[in-house]
Amino acid sequence: MSGWALSALIALPIAGAVAVAAVPRHRPGAARAVGFAAAGLAFLLAAWVWTAFRPGQSGLQFEERAAWVPAAGIGYHLGVDGLSVSLTALVALLVPLAIVASADQVKERGRGFVLTLLLLEAGLLGTFLAQDLVLFYVFWEAMLIPMYFLIALWGGPARRGAAIKFLLYTLSGSVLMLLAIIAVYLQGGRVLGTPTFDLPALLARPLGVSPAVEALLFGAFAVAFAIKMPVWPLHTWLPDAYAEAPPVVTVLLAGLMAKAGAYGLLRFCLPLFPDAVRAWGPLLASLGVAGILYGGAVAWAQGDLRRLLAYGSLSHMGFILLGIFALDVASVQGSVLQMINHGVSTGALFVLAGMLIGRTGQARTDAYGGLAAATPALAAVTLIVVASSLALPGTNGFVGEFLILLGAFQTHPVHAVLATIGVVFSAAYLLAFVGRIFHGPLRPELRGLPDLRPREYAVLAPLIAIIFWVGFVPGPLLDRSEATVRALLKPPATSTPIPAMASRPPRAPSVRRPAAPPNRDAVDPGPVVRP
Amino acid sequence: MTWNDLVAAAPEAVLVLTACVVLLQDAWATGGALEAERRGAATTWLTLAGVCVAAALAAPVPPGEVAAFGGMYVRDGITRLADLIALGTAGVGVLLADAYVRRMRLPAGEYCALLLLSTVGAMLMAASRNLIVLFLGLEVLSLPLYVLAAIARRSARSQEAGLKYLLLGAFATAFFVYGVALVYGAAGTLDLRVLAAVPASPLLGGGLALLTIGLGFEAALVPFHSWAPDVYEGAPLPAVAFMSVAAKVGAFTGLIRVFPQGLAHLAPTWGPMLQALAIATMVLGNLAALPQTNVKRLLAYSSVAHAGYLLIGVAAGGPAGTAAVLFYLAVYGAMNLGAFGVLVLLDRRGEEADRLDDLAGLAGRAPWAAWALAVCLVSLAGLPPAGGFIGKLYLFRAALGAGQIGLAVVGVLTSVVSVFYYMRVAYTVFSGEAPPDVTVRRNAMAGVALTAAAAGVLIYGIIPARLTAAVQQAAALLK
């Protein structure tokens, strides 16, 4: 296993940012080119890591270790496993696309924008790769500052308030997590003999704290991650931030940053606090369902394009939360997959929203109508992305949501039923979204609006490709996460046998299997749970 | 006094000698004129040379604990680190002041000499194992600071600041001396090593409380902080940059010498007192900084708040708390000097540009200064990847390790509050149009100083291993 790839992956965007800073200020095009080159290289590297990643192993791969602050037990420890390998690739994919999209959408200070975007990418990649609690926290918070500036400097009219609200909201959650991290470290020192912030080392033995303390520590971690996702009712920063950020940045907020929260729950909460997870999991699953229904209902009522999508995103994140805390292999697998899907589909939706707003300057849905006549390609692409977001069979969203619901039915049937109702909501607001904007008579002032330009095709094409690829061949993604997810749920809460899993012939993880994964068999009777 | 005593105190001795030479040199060079028309940079270079020699003398790691002057003065790991921080502050302070002093026609000789003497005071406080030496250090530290605050003779604001500082400072010093007297009455000794075995008594408790008032004034702890915003606002900027760090280095090493090191056995007595002070300081300092529109006042309240964070480490005590305080002092020095240092570059029609609006659009015309300021602000807010984060990590680790959960929770929550006002400054720097009447006065010396400060902040945040090893080694002496 190579010991440089992940460090290089984090270093490339930082080097790119430095290179962008060296470009003269009045040449934003050159700055974008340099930034795209750096982000593109990072993507190639991430794609190579993704391909070279060996499925079937639950442990870390591409591991790198170095002493960082040995006096305090802080190490520089990077690695990918099934939870993070695809997310890393997603980050590396979306950022260069965002840089390309910013060419049309960011008019002022293009150089600073690209530079800040690259710093954000480094923070995001580090968050998904770090295996040391302090290192993770450093990246986790370091990405807040670029994001604050991206919203505050390039956002809409109410950007300052939205940016500071986002920053303070997320920070107040994560500082309590910092205290919990230190507490875990001190307690780990008592259990292990040597205090360390290294996650695998801390997981070697149970923490051995009382249930009350464990619940408290779990709560501190979970609140930090829940704010980032966000989970209802900690979502109130979301509509402002999503609506005020420049559309390209909203893509990253919804597509990537939200995933960091869900990823944190999987990476830290589940293994570190297994008992508290079992005790409080049902509550969190309920919050997930509440988010699905609340987000869906509120999205339906929104007149603002991006607020509609923002609440829709909240609703979809509810599925991911439900899947995680259903604590079933199928549901967690579904959540891991859905994290990628949500990143692609919601990311694409916000890219499209940005294209619409960039064309008309209007953010309200009632300013549009009948646009399909003027911009047929844009309308077609939107319909595909909406189908994916709706989880129609054949698209990526279907596989993810189906697995989540399948798993949740085993452990939390009531939650699953309610969540299925949420699918109806998403149909309602998403189809309303498409209907209000693209259907009906074409508004006269929208006549002559340009259709998709080559650069916009280039941004959308990879996303559409992934939507169908994952929809038809989810195997590569699911294979990569399966071993890790199984290991994660090892002393599992799933004491009841899982019919869907039990009916399937067991297989050796080391054998390379043909493209069609077993999960696809389970996926086929899908329409049963469709409304 | 023996030869060995002088060798132990050589860094201080070098600084005092340099101060005398600098005064004479400046007097000869300018012919005694108070507001010389032209002034060379010789004063600055001489001062820097003295600081460098002193730093070279202070840099070697002392073998354990070297006592001098009958055990009243010690040179150990804590002294060494405090000396290096104080000397670094002095060096950066002189570099920042050079162009400003000439521009504002301040007496350069006096300025540099006072700055050096004040540094000696901070170093003495760090080296004291006896309350008399601590008092001596406190006076040597603060008297030059009173004068430095008032050194702009033609500025009414500066005069007012100096007077306020002097009056309140004298009042606080009186408390300190009275506290020393009470401690002597209770214990019959002022030697901190002997005090380490003295049983608790009401008289001793009273004495310690009064000592804390004296040191708390110098550190700007709430409720002894009321001088800070006015003095910071009125005093000349380079002097503020220096005093905001030097006074804290002296006060907090003094607090470490007295409480965690000297009176560790009485921790149940002074622990709650310091915790309450820390909480009040963090909460009030940060809340008061929120509405400020004058950057000097904002940074003044911010430095009050940081006194609260530093006090977390003192209240936690033990090697962990002491190491955290030492680390944070180093980071605080770098980030505060950097933040004030950027302001020194600005000039609004011959005056200091200290309004928040004056900073608008700075990134457009002085990108390096803007980035340096941003790095320092991120660090002050305690966010990674800057040194302020690692510093706070150490402080909170010490607090949780000592079981002071409430203190840590207040600490992290007030840090979130602080993010609001630091980011407001950072936002202003990167947005808007530069006001036409504000000019950026670039100069090489200030550039070097700012680069050093910003680099320090980043190094402490990204590769802190050497400093953390050093502070932990120094604090291990406490046991």
Residue of chain B whose alpha carbon sits nearest to that of A72: B468
A113/chain B closest Cα distance in angstroms: 12
pLDDT one-digit tens code per residue, B211-235:
999 999 999 998 999 999 999 999 9
Is there a contact between A141 and B389 if contact means CB atoms under 8 Å apart? yes
For residue B468, list chain A residues with Cβ-Cβ distance below 8 A. Answer: 69, 71-72
Number of folded domains that form chain B: 1
Q: Could you give phi then psi for residue B137, rounded to 5 degrees?
A: -60, -45
Which pLDDT score, from 0 to 100, does residue A499 have?
A: 42
| Residue of A74, A154, A175, A244 for testing the chain B interface, max B β-carbons within 10 Å | A175
Tokens of A2: 């190579």
Among B135, B97, B142, which Cα is nearest to B117's? B142
Is there a contact between A142 and B383 if contact means CB atoms under 8 Å apart? yes
| Residue of B328, B373, B389, B419 for testing the chain A interface, max A β-carbons within 10 Å | B419
B383 reaches A (C-beta below 8 A): yes
Q: CA torsion angle for B232, A164, B376, B385 (degrees, to 10)?
A: 150
Rounded CA separation B135/B114 (Å): 18
B393 reaches A (C-beta below 8 A): yes
Helix spans in A473-525 (H) = 475-488, 499-502, 518-523
B426/chain A closest Cα distance in angstroms: 9
Peptide bond into A506 cis (omega under 30): no
Rounded CA separation B276/A481 (Å): 50
Q: What is the ipTM of this complex?
A: 0.92
Rounded CA separation A317/A494 (Å): 23
Rounded CA separation B36/B80 (Å): 38
B298 reaches A (C-beta below 8 A): no
Which pLDDT score, from 0 to 100, does residue A140 have?
A: 93
pLDDT one-digit tens code per residue, B348-398:
888 888 899 999 989 888 889 999 999 999 999 999 889 999 999 999 999
B322 reaches A (C-beta below 8 A): no
- The H helix count followed by the E strand count for chain A is 24, 2
Q: How confident is the model at residue B479 (pLDDT cuts 50, 70, 90)?
A: low
DSSP for residue B10: H
A468/chain B closest Cα distance in angstroms: 39
Rounded CA separation B62/B57 (Å): 11
Which pLDDT score, from 0 to 100, does residue A507 have?
A: 42
Rounded CA separation A42/A14 (Å): 10
Q: pTM for this structure?
A: 0.91
- Secondary structure of B19-37 in the HEC alphabet? HHHHHHHHHHHHCCCCCCC
Which of B378, B401, B464 lies closest to A145 in CB terms?
B378
Q: How confident is the model at residue B259 (pLDDT cuts 50, 70, 90)?
A: very high
Rounded CA separation B192/B196 (Å): 6
Is there a contact between B420 and A160 if contact means CB atoms under 8 Å apart? no
Q: How confident is the model at residue B448 (pLDDT cuts 50, 70, 90)?
A: very high
Which residues of chain A are under the pLDDT cut of 50?
1, 492-531
Cβ burial, residue A94 (10 Å; 0-12/13-18/19+): buried
Residue of chain B whose alpha carbon sits nearest to that of A181: B397
Among A155, A147, A145, A143, which Cα is nearest to A109's? A155
Which pLDDT score, from 0 to 100, does residue A109 have?
A: 85
A516 reaches B (C-beta below 8 A): no
B74/chain A closest Cα distance in angstroms: 26
pLDDT one-digit tens code per residue, B401-424:
999 999 999 999 999 999 999 999
Distances (CA, A) of B314 to B31, B200, B322: 48, 19, 6
B378 reaches A (C-beta below 8 A): yes
- Spatial contact of B339 and B380, defined as CB atoms under 8 Å apart: yes
Residue with tokens 């501190």: A220
Which pLDDT score, from 0 to 100, does residue A106 have?
A: 80
Residue of chain B whose alpha carbon sits nearest to that of A186: B401
A322/chain B closest Cα distance in angstroms: 30
B179/chain A closest Cα distance in angstroms: 36
Among A306, A398, A295, A302, which Cα is nearest to A352's? A306
DSSP string, A374-393: H-HHHHHHHHHHHHHHTT-T
Domain residue limits at B204: 3-475
Which pLDDT score, from 0 to 100, does residue B319 have?
A: 92
Strands A61-69 and B66-68: unpaired
Q: Is the pLDDT of residue B304 over 90?
A: yes
Which of A141, A164, A178 lies closest to B420 in CB terms?
A164
Neighbours of B444 (CB within 10 A): 10
B67 bridge partner residues? B74
| Residues contacting A119, CB < 8 A, separation 6+ | A13, A14, A17, A145, A146
A71 reaches B (C-beta below 8 A): yes
B10 reaches A (C-beta below 8 A): no
Is there a contact between B393 and A178 if contact means CB atoms under 8 Å apart? yes
